[in-house]
Amino acid sequence: MHDDMEKVLITEEEIQEKVDELGKQLSEEYKENFPLVVGVLKGSLPFMADLIKRLDIHIEYDLMDVSSYGEQMVSSGEVKIVKDLNTSVKDRDVVIVEDIIDSGLTLSYLVKLFHHRQAKSVKIVTLLDKPEGRNVDLSPDVAGFTVPDEFVVGYGLDYIERYRNLPYIGVLKPEIYEG
Ligand code: XMP
Ligand code: MG
């Protein structure tokens, strides 16, 4: 475990097992649809990379970067597109892949946007769900793990851009935020 970490919440093995399971579920569900899998940067990158390798069906994938947090730990309530898709979602079955749903603002914005762009269907797959953080009425179609209302890092999730590369998910020691 990294020195800055207070505890590991979800181990690498638990994550990989879950990703296997979700891969099977999505492969079954989307085998006829040629879905467009949309990864939300930067946090979803490790999950997205692992998940798409478990899909044994035809898919297309693309990436989008939106920001609602900036460098803050609490949501500003504002979502902006930093990098848009290169692919049209019109008439496509879209699967949005996220690292975590907290307030729900980012995802509710994206779901509305893709419906507005006339996607055939839009589903949300998130590795982590933090239901206690919710500000808007939104629930994921598929969630890997439910986490408590604590700030978590690792496997794509950062604190001021650090820790995204860790293969597990954990909580930092309080002095890391203070220092
Ligand atoms: P909302 O509030 O829009 O947030 O559902 C989604 C985005 O917020 C970030 N987020 C976190 N990042 N640890 C992080 O490193 C957390 O505990 C956390 N909670 C929310 C994340 O970027 C996510 O995509
Ligand atoms: Mg972040």
62 sits in which H/E element: strand 60-67
Q: Which atom of ligand 1 is nearest to the CA of 75?
A: 2
Quickly tell me which residue has 């597109």 as its tokens.
81
- Tell me the per-residue pLDDT of 50-72, one tens digit each, with 9 for 90 and over: 999 999 999 999 999 998 755 55
In this structure, the residue with its CA closest to atom 21 of ligand 1 is 100
Residue 93 has pLDDT above 80, yes or no: yes
Q: Which atom of ligand 1 is nearest to the CA of 68?
A: 3
Q: What ipTM is given for this predicted complex?
A: 0.91
Domains of the chain: 5-178 (3.40.50.2020)
Looking at the chain, the whole-number percentage of residues with pLDDT higher than 90 is 89
The answer, yes or no, to whether any atom of ligand 1 lies below 6 A from the CB of 44, is no
Indicate the pLDDT class of residue 178, thresholds 50, 70 and 90. confident
Whole-number average pLDDT of the chain = 94
User: Which residues form the catalytic set?
Assistant: 102
pTM: 0.93
Residue to mutate (ligand 1; options 9, 38, 69, 172; most atoms within 8 A of CB): 69
